Amino acid sequence: MKNNRQKILILHPLYIDVNCRINKCFMEYALVTGGSRGIGRAIAVLLARNGFKVIVNYHANDREAQKTLSLITQDGGVAELLKFNVADNNACMAAIDNWQQLHPDDYISVLVNNAGIRSDELMALMDVSDFERVIQNNLLSFFYLTRLLIPQMVRHRNGRIVNIASLSGLKGVAGQTNYAASKGGLIAATKSLAQELAKKKITVNAVAPGFIRTDMVEGLDEMSLKQMIPMARFGEPEEVASLVNFLVSKEASYITGECININGGLYS
Ligand code: NAP
């Protein structure tokens, strides 16, 4: 039994700091790419609410990123913004290197590869640059960023990687050969990486949303699309966030290499 003086000493920040250094305990962070808007914002907010220190990545939209940060801090959570282009390998390396230098005693134990774009067109009419850009943003970004964080996760024998794929990557959608290829590739890479990292206590899973109400689906004919969905509605970003939140939790420790659908019954 510890007396009151000992209890107070243990809670003192200096004691925690020194003790952390001696026993090499590290702060764990969750990095959510594309956290300024839509699904990424909902994930960042929920992970912060559940105690993670969240790094909110985004590309360009400072105002929306700031809004995500405010939502988290107003809720009592801890977060920081990290602006970089996930489709640029050098930018990924510089961002992670800088972050690690500023946080020598911390590591990123949760990575949610969420940032993504679409650029739809029938393949016969599609520009080469549109195909390449979507693959770069949605698939190569996964490789650029994830490989940088694996060594620390392995060192700590602890990690969760969740890749936001899409129904399109499983089923295929006309007008989305580029997007479907990027998400299908992401699902296959998820399964392979899960096998590489399983023994290191790192899980790697994918989530495949159907239609979720965000900026990405703006301009789609929701009224007619809803008729194809058994639940007769688009999903909400918070519903995808709940699934991601479960996959990064300790309760999901035996789930790896999966791609989980979240689409209101549209496809299974
Ligand atoms: P969204 O509302 O368009 O938001 C996209 C987010 O990704 C923004 O935060 C954006 O940052 C960020 N981003 C885009 N390119 C980036 C880059 N190169 N580097 C860093 N950040 C980048 O999209 P969403 O609907 O939430 O989609 C999130 C993920 O879910 C995507 O991977 C998407 O493919 C997938 N998904 C969405 C749906 C759906 O129906 N919405 C369905 C299936 C799958 P800025 O704000 O700075 O631009």
1 vs 99, more confident: 99
Nearest atom in ligand 1 to the alpha carbon of residue 35 is 9
Q: What is the mean pLDDT of the chain?
A: 93
Q: Give 27-262's CATH code, choosing from 3.40.50.620, 3.30.413.10, 3.40.50.720, 3.40.640.10.
A: 3.40.50.720
- The residues that bridge with 53 in the sheet, in sequence order, are 29, 78
Report the percent of the chain where pLDDT is more than 90: 90
pLDDT in tens, 215-242: 999 999 999 999 999 999 999 999 999 9
SS3 assignment for 36-87:
CCHHHHHHHHHHHHCCCEEEEEECCCHHHHHHHHHHHHHCCCEEEEEECCCC
Given phi > 0 = left and psi -120 to 50 = alpha, else beta, which region is 232? left
How many DSSP H helices and E strands does the chain contain?
11, 7
Written as one string, the DSSP assignment of 174-193 is TT-HHHHHHHHHHHHHHHHH
Annotated catalytic residue within 58, 144, 179, 267 = 179
Nearest atom in ligand 1 to the alpha carbon of residue 209 is 43
Mutational pocket test of ligand 1: of 216, 229, 244, 266, the residue with most ligand atoms within 8 Å of the beta carbon: 216
Going by pLDDT thresholds of 50, 70 and 90, the confidence category of residue 3 is: low
- Backbone angles phi and psi of 10, in degrees to 5: -65, -30
pLDDT in tens, 45-94: 999 999 999 999 999 999 999 999 999 999 999 999 999 999 999 999 99
> CA 55 from chain center: how many Å?
10
Is residue 36 in contact with ligand 1, taking CB distance under 6 Å? yes
Is residue 219 in contact with ligand 1, taking CB distance under 6 Å? no
Q: What is the DSSP letter of 112?
A: E
Whether 179 is catalytic is: yes
pLDDT in tens, 181-196: 999 999 999 999 999 9
Nearest atom in ligand 1 to the alpha carbon of residue 83 is 20
